[in-house]
Amino acid sequence: MTASSPLHLSDLPALRAAVSAWRTAGETVALVPTMGALHEGHLTLIAEAKRLASRAVVSLFVNPTQFGPTEDFARYPRDVAADLAAMARAGADAAWTPDVATMYPLGFATRIEVAGLTDGLCGPLRPGHFSGVATVVTKLLNQVRPDIALFGEKDFQQLQVIKRVVADLDMAPEIRGVPTIREADGLALSSRNRYLSAEERSRAPTLHAVLADIASKARDGGSVAEPVSEGIATLTAAGFAVQYMSVCDAASLAPVECVTGPARVLAAAYLGRTRLIDNVPV
């Protein structure tokens, strides 16, 4: 192990001992929850974690309970050795890699449901997804007990759901969203981008271009209906199958007709077999 390799922790007592030793030494702790397949977006979260706390723990756990039966759980990319190497380069202090039996031992029976925020956007399209996310993130926060946890704004609905859970359940960690990292052509970084063929990859940036265009038109304060239907038409013509495209209040995620306060343009669309999501602030 080199000096910069993160501690690799796979059982809860070892994790607790490491965090408790840091705490005894007066250090602060940040958590970056991930499902692995780390890319520059995750590395930015780790860098931000190290800026905000003395220690950064990165969890790597492909959470089965947030995938639907026809989703990509089985083929989700898994490469712990590459993730550990990337974490070392980013300066992470520990990798928390629990197995399924640690996260969901025999008899596990608890699910966290968040109403309202999950009624629209990805919620109805991915039944059980946000409940799976809310439950696993609550467990990760309780296991690591960080001062702060960081999440990418690319999963904007997920971020709002997690903020709600932490506020509603009086949990201590601060939840911090970090702006989406993009390729030079605008495509939001995602572990799922590797599913795109070269030809699909060349069309993929249209999603961000359309969202940015809608956001700029929405800033004028007029109705967003026309820019949104033009955006759907542009994506459809480019071969996307749009699941939703909506301008929403940035906190409640309720759809808005005209923008009068902080808002977000959000969309989900299939390009071939790959489901892309993205959002931009208005």
Residues labelled as active-site residues: 42
- Provide the mask over 30-49, with x wherever binding to ligand PAF is found by CB under 6 A and - wherever it is not: ---xxx--------------
Q: Which is nearer to ligand PAF, 228 or 278 (CB)?
A: 278
Among residues 102 and 234, whose Cβ is nearest to ligand PAF? 102
DSSP for 182-250 reads: B-TTSPBP-GGGGGS-HHHHHHTTHHHHHHHHHHHHHTT-SBSHHHHHHHHHHHHHTT-EEEEEEEEET
Taking CB under 6 A as the rule, does residue 180 contact ligand PAF?
no
Q: Does residue number 134 form part of the binding site for ligand PAF (CB under 6 A)? A: no
123 binds ligand PAF per the rule CB under 6 A: no
Beta bridge partners of 242: 269
**Options 27-35, 96-104, 169-177, 221-229: segment touching ligand PAF (CB under 6 A):** 27-35
The yes or no reply on residue 63 touching ligand PAF (CB under 6 A) is: yes
Of the pair 156, 228, the CB lying nearest ligand PAF is at 156
User: How far is 60 from 38, CA to CA, in rounded Å?
Assistant: 9
What is residue 255's DSSP assignment? B
E strand segments, 11-54: 29-34
Alpha-carbon span 136 to 61, nearest angstrom: 9
- Give the burial class of 51: count Cβ atoms within 10 A of its Cβ; 0-12 exposed, 13-18 middle, 19 or more buried: exposed
Rounded least distance, CB 233 to ligand PAF, Å: 30
- Least Å distance between CB 34 and ligand PAF? 5
Q: Find the shortest distance in angstroms from Cβ 48 to ligand PAF.
A: 15
Q: Please report, for residues 6, 65, 126, 135, 248, the alpha-carbon distance to residue 68 in angstroms, rounded to integers and kept in the order given.
A: 32, 8, 7, 15, 25
CA-wise closest residue to 179 among 45, 81, 88: 45
The distance of closest approach from Cβ of residue 31 to ligand PAF in the complex, given in angstroms and rounded to an integer, is 10
Residue 136 touching ligand PAF (CB under 6 A): yes
Give the pair of three-digit tokens for residue 113.
Answer: 């449901």
Nearer of residues 217 and 264 to ligand PAF, judged by Cβ: 264
Please identify, using beta-carbon distances, which residue of 165 and 259 lies nearer to ligand PAF: 165
Closer residue to ligand PAF (CB): 132 or 231: 132
* Residue 155 sits in the site that holds ligand PAF (CB under 6 A): yes
DSSP class of 102:
H
Phi, psi at residue 26, to the nearest 5°?
Answer: 85, 15
Helix (H, G, I), strand (E, B) or coil at 88: helix
Minimal distance, residue 260 CB to ligand PAF, in Å: 30
Among 133, 187, 211, 218, binds ligand PAF (CB under 6 A): 133
Interface residue list for ligand PAF (CB under 6 A) = 33-35, 63, 66, 133, 136-137, 155, 158
